[in-house]
């Protein structure tokens, strides 16, 4: 007997922005969640470390959420897992590598002991509520990536996750084109496809395209060789390690994230080299420079990363000297350009030979995302009734929708949705039926509460732009009278040409407020502070057109 009901797709993050990928799929009283990512904060989110999706929709329906499915182990897909599991301790499903990536995260938050981790094996189906899930093996810049075929009572949804069609993967785990073609023959309700590289024509080169450039670099490096790449790029780390073995260089790992991911890769068998190949960071100087490869983290110019510190000669073990070769084998993430080029400048000052992604051929880095022709190839194989672009900023979603719209024989209808839209399917078709409660949660991992409220960010922004003014008043507890002239403390406030003269004007303004207040008002610290703050705000705004944070302090003596 056929079930009746409505199928909902609800993106909670990642559509219209880079990162924070998270999507709910619902049939009646069953909800599954695909990915729980994070994004790095924009410049205006001062002091915030990471941003994760608000989970309001899932918390409102917590009794219906059956599990979390992870397509792969990149931060923009798994970085928010601890916050989701902290709120809803639901089963987690991922490939062997993806689960290994999140174990440390969960342990760090004290969640690992109670977490239910289930390994997904490509091609092996399993049931989750009303859904049957079939993970399909794909290739990406990280190992263990899968697309998800979600069988629902209305038909099959295919969520590609991040992918490229690499026909010669370095680990020989092939992209399962056959599985997509089979689904295309059987009929697919909707294809949700990664939009990240939709602006790039042609095909994305295979990971093996990097090998000729690496060979050339190893052949010509006369002294120490430093290679920096994303810690999740196990294919790249493996290639560099195998080259080191071929060219008789010892390998030192510098940087926690790179060390951790390489150790996991060795434990799981992705990297298999003799143990005498590996040396500790403290042993780098024990070997001749031409016999050492240093794999070092910090490819995005993060201020406290190992590479950034080595670039200014501030790292205990990684010393970059004249004639050393430094390779940045990664893409420049938008927004990080200044930091990366600053590091590159420092490396040039050390007279190092610096190689970075400059469009040369063969390349020193290739993308992990499908370009236009690969996207079209997959669409032609799947031939979905509905096509929905996911993962990207609005311009990319729009271009992806336009591209799919030209493929009349392969695509039924193209639907554009953004974070928060509720897309509903039933026997009559598909339509947007409203908005879910979505948003962003800002995390400051150095604070006690972790979550940074909007008000705090506003105050930080306020302080960064206009500074603060702190009037300090010593008030007699018994008489309510001033014991001395008010003190004015100003920091980061550049509202007046002569600070001392302006401070005198502010003192006079405070005295006027006190003279215009009753003894009862002065004896109530809360009331008099607010009066002083309001009057000073008005006076400073009128005098300087600036709005510093005003923090009156009353000291009763």
CA distance 209 to 232: 18
Question: pLDDT tens across 492-502, in order?
Answer: 776 554 667 78
Q: Does 216 fall in a domain?
A: yes
What mean pLDDT do residues 376-384 have? 97
The answer as to whether 458 is a domain residue is no
CA angle 518, 519, 523 (to 5 degrees): 120
* Candidate from 200-209, 211-220, 432-441 with smallest mean pLDDT: 432-441
Which of the residue ranges 26-30, 228-232, 290-294 would you say has the lowest mean pLDDT?
Answer: 228-232
User: How many Cβ atoms are within 10 Å of 461's Cβ, its own excluded?
Assistant: 14
- For the chain, helix, strand, coil in percent to 5 are 35, 25, 40
Cα 369 to Cα 366: distance, rounded to the nearest angstrom: 9
Quote the pLDDT of residue 376: 97
Same-domain status, 196 and 235? no
CA distance 518 to 303: 53
The per-residue pLDDT for 263 is: 93
What pLDDT, on the 0 to 100 scale, is given for residue 445?
57
Most confident of 29-43, 176-190, 254-268: 176-190
Task: Let me know whether 432 and 550 are in one domain.
Answer: no
**Last residue of one domain, picked from the residues 356, 381, 401:** 356
Residues 415 and 551 in one domain: no
* pLDDT over threshold 60, residue 456: no
Record the tokens describing residue 197, joined without a space.
């590289």
pLDDT tens digits along 173-205: 999 999 999 999 999 999 999 999 999 999 999
Q: Do residues 122 and 142 lie in contact, with contact meaning Cβ atoms separated by under 8 Å? A: no
- Per the domain annotation, does 284 fall within a domain? yes
Share of the chain above pLDDT 90, in %: 65
- Of the pLDDT bands very low, low, confident and very high (cuts 50, 70, 90), residue 447 is very low
Cα(379)–Cα(190) distance, integer angstroms: 11
* Beta strand segments in 383-439, E: 386-390, 413-414, 421-426, 429-435
pLDDT in tens, 493-538: 765 546 677 888 888 888 888 888 877 777 777 788 888 888 888 8
CA–CA distance, 92 with 80 (Å, rounded to integer): 13
Q: In 3-state terms, what secondary structure has residue 226? A: strand
Residue 228: CATH number of its domain = 3.40.50.10710
**Helices and strands counted in the chain (H then E):** 16, 28
Q: Does 266 fall in a domain?
A: yes
Report, as an integer, the average pLDDT of 373-382: 97
How deeply is 448 buried, as exposed, middle or buried, from its count of CB atoms within 10 A (0-12, 13-18, 19+)?
exposed
Here the CATH number for the domain that contains residue 22 is 3.60.15.10
Tell me what pLDDT residue 15 has: 93
Q: Give the DSSP H/E element, type plus range, for residue 99.
A: helix 96-108
The residue ranking higher by pLDDT, 528 or 344, is 344
Count of Cβ atoms closer than 10 Å to residue 150 Cβ: 24
Residues 6+ apart with CB under 8 A from 351: 321, 322, 323
What is the arithmetic mean of pLDDT over 308-326?
Answer: 93
What pLDDT score was predicted for residue 435? 94
With a cut of 60, say whether residue 448 has pLDDT above it: no
C-alpha distances (whole Å) from 65 to each of 9, 71, 83, 230, 435 are 14, 18, 15, 33, 19
E strand or H helix that includes residue 66:
strand 65-69
The pair of structure tokens assigned to 440 is 């962003």
What domain range is 432 assigned to?
7-202+367-443
Q: Are residues 285 and 325 in the same domain?
A: yes
Q: Mean pLDDT of all residues in the chain?
A: 89
End-to-end CA distance of the chain: 82
Q: Give the pLDDT mean for 41-50.
A: 56
pLDDT in tens, 410-438: 999 999 999 999 999 999 999 999 999 88
- Both 311 and 351 in one domain: the answer is yes
426 and 496 belong to one structural domain = no
Residues 175 and 274 in one domain: no
Residue 251's pLDDT is what? 97
pLDDT at 347 over 50: yes
Under 8 Å between Cβ of 416 and 397: yes
Last residue of a domain, one of 322, 356, 390: 356
Instruction: Please tell me the distance from the alpha carbon of residue 166 to that of residue 174, in angstroms, as a whole number.
Output: 8
Residue 71 inside a domain? The answer is yes
Q: Which residue has the tokens 């075929």?
A: 149
Q: Are 480 and 473 in contact (CB under 8 A)?
A: no
Residue 184 three-state SS? helix
Confidence category of residue 1, pLDDT binned at 50, 70, 90: very low
More confident residue, 488 or 25: 25
Tokens representing residue 467 in the block: 């500074």
The count of domains in the chain is 3
Query: Is the peptide bond prior to 362 cis by the omega test (within 30 degrees of 0)?
Result: yes
User: Average of pLDDT values for 28-32?
Assistant: 96
pLDDT tens-digit series, residues 476-490: 767 767 778 888 888
Residue that terminates a domain, selected from 443, 478, 499: 443
Is residue 252 within 8 A of residue 223, CB to CB? The reply is no
Residue 460 has pLDDT above 80, yes or no: no
Pairing of strands 92-94, 440-443: unpaired
How confident is the model at residue 444, as a pLDDT?
Answer: 63
Same domain, 137 and 223: no
Structure confidence at residue 46 (pLDDT)? 44
Of 31-40, 175-184, 310-319, 511-520, the poorest mean pLDDT is in 511-520
On whether residue 31 sits in a domain, the answer given is yes
pLDDT per residue as tens digits for the range 105-149: 899 889 999 999 999 999 999 999 999 999 999 999 999 999 999
The reply to whether 216 and 286 lie within a common domain is yes
- Gap between the Cα atoms of 366 and 141, Å rounded: 9
Residue with tokens 């993970």: 135
Q: Count the neighbouring beta carbons within 10 Å of the beta carbon of residue 15.
A: 27
Neighbours of 136 (CB within 10 A): 24
Judge whether 194 lies within some domain.
Answer: yes
What is the per-residue DSSP string for 312-355? TT--SS----TT-EEEE-S---TT-HHHHHHHHHHHHHTT-EEE
**Model pLDDT for residues 68-110, shown as the tens digit of each residue:** 999 999 999 999 999 999 999 999 999 999 999 999 889 988 9
Express as a percent the part of the chain with pLDDT over 70. Answer: 91
Return all residues near 423 (Cβ < 8 A) that are at least 6 apart.
8, 9, 10, 388, 415, 417, 430, 431, 432, 433
In order, the DSSP letters of 476-545 are: -TTT--BSSPPEEEEES----S-HHHHHHHHHHHHHHHHHTS-HHHHT-HHHHHHHHHHHHHHHHHHHHS
Taken in order 363, 366, 371, 377, the sign of the CA dihedral is positive
User: Are residues 120 and 29 part of one domain?
Assistant: yes
- Asked if pLDDT for residue 26 goes beyond 80, the answer is yes
Domain identity same for 227 and 304: yes
In a domain, 462, yes or no: no
Residues 118 and 17 both lie in one domain: yes
Cα 283 to Cα 276: distance, rounded to the nearest angstrom:
12
């Amino acid at each position: 007997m056929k079930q009746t009901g409505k199928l909902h797709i609800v993106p909670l993050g990642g559509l219209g922005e880079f990162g924070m990928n998270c999507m709910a799929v619902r049939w009646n009283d069953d909800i599954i969640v695909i990915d729980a990512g994070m994004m790095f904060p924009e410049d205006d989110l001062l002091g915030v470390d990471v941003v994760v999706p608000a989970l309001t929709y899932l918390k409102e329906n917590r009794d219906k959420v059956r599990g979390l499915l992870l397509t792969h182990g990149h931060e923009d897909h798994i970085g928010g897992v601890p916050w989701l599991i902290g709120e809803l301790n639901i089963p987690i499903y991922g490939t062997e590598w993806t689960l290994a990536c999140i174990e440390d995260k969960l342990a760090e938050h004290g969640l690992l002991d109670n977490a239910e981790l289930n390994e997904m094996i490509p091609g092996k189906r399993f049931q989750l509520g009303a859904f049957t899930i079939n993970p399909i093996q794909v290739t990406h810049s990280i190992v263990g990536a899968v697309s998800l075929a979600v069988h629902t009572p209305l038909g099959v949804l295919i969520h590609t996750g991040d992918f490229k069609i690499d026909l010669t993967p370095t680990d020989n785990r092939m992209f399962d084109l056959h599985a997509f073609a089979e689904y295309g023959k059987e009929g697919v309700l909707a294809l949700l496809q990664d939009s990240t590289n939709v602006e790039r024509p042609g095909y994305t080169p295979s990971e093996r395209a990097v090998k000729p450039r690496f060979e050339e670099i190893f052949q010509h490096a006369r002294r120490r060789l430093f290679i920096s790449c994303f810690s999740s790029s196990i294919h790249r780390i493996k290639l560099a390690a195998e080259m080191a073995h071929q060219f008789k260089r010892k390998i030192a790992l510098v940087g926690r994230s790179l060390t951790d991911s390489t150790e996991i890769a060795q434990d799981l068998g992705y990297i298999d080299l003799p143990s005498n190949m590996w040396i500790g960071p403290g042993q780098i100087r024990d070997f001749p420079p031409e016999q050492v490869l240093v794999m070092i983290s910090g490819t995005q110019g993060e201020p406290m990363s190992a590479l950034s510190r080595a670039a200014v000669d501030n790292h205990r073990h990684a010393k970059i000297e004249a004639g050393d070769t430094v390779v940045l084998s990664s893409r420049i993430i938008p927004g990080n350009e200044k930091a990366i080029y600053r590091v590159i400048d420092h490396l040039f000052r050390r007279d190092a030979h610096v190689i970075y992604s400059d469009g040369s051929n063969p390349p020193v880095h290739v993308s992990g995302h499908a370009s236009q022709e690969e996207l079209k190839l997959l669409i032609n194989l799947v031939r979905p009734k509905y096509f929905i672009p996911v993962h990207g900023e609005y311009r990319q979603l729009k271009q992806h929708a336009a591209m799919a719209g030209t493929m009349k024989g392969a695509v039924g209808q193209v639907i554009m949705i953004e974070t928060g839209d509720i897309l509903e399917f039933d026997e009559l078709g598909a339509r947007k039926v409203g908005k879910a409660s979505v948003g962003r949660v800002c995390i400051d991992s150095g604070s006690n509460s972790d979550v940074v409220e909007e008000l705090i960010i506003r105050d930080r922004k306020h302080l960064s732009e206009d500074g603060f003014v702190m009037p300090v008043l010593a008030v007699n507890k018994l008489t309510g009278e001033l014991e001395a002239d008010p003190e004015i403390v100003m920091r980061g406030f550049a509202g007046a040409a002569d600070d001392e003269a302006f401070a005198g004007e502010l003192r006079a303004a405070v005295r006027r407020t006190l003279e215009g207040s009753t003894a009862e008002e002065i004896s109530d610290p809360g009331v008099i502070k607010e009066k002083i703050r309001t009057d000073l705000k008005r006076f400073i705004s009128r005098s300087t057109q600036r709005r510093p944070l005003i923090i009156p302090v009353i000291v009763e003596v």
